[in-house]
Amino acid sequence: MDELLDILKELKPDVDFETEKSLIDNAILDSFDIVQLVTQLKDAFDIDITPADLIPENFNSAESMWNMIQKLQ
């Protein structure tokens, strides 16, 4: 989880990813951010994120992203 938080903080240093639960719903992360994030997550965690995984529920919080990563590993 720490590695994920580091990636997220590098992407958006001004966001508190440990407490934010509406990253997509509140437009904190936009589509360009998601594209960058998917690439970084694939490399960092050696996972394949498919179009079916690209749903708001998987990217609304660091916790939901971590759950997706765990499922895909």
What pLDDT sits at residue 68?
98
Taking alpha carbons only, the member of 7, 48, 20, 35 closest to residue 68 is 48
- CA separation for the pair 14, 28 (Å, rounded): 10
CATH number at residue 44: 1.10.1200.10
What pLDDT sits at residue 54?
96
pLDDT band at 60 (very low <50, low <70, confident <90, very high): very high
pLDDT digits (tens, 9 = 90+) for 2-36: 999 999 999 999 999 999 999 999 999 999 999 99
What pLDDT sits at residue 25?
96
Global pTM reads: 0.94
DSSP 24-61: TTTTSS-HHHHHHHHHHHHHHHT----GGG-SHHHHSS
What pLDDT sits at residue 17?
98
Q: Which domain holds residue 39?
A: 2-72
Q: Which amino acid is at 6?
A: D
Q: How many domains does the chain have?
A: 1
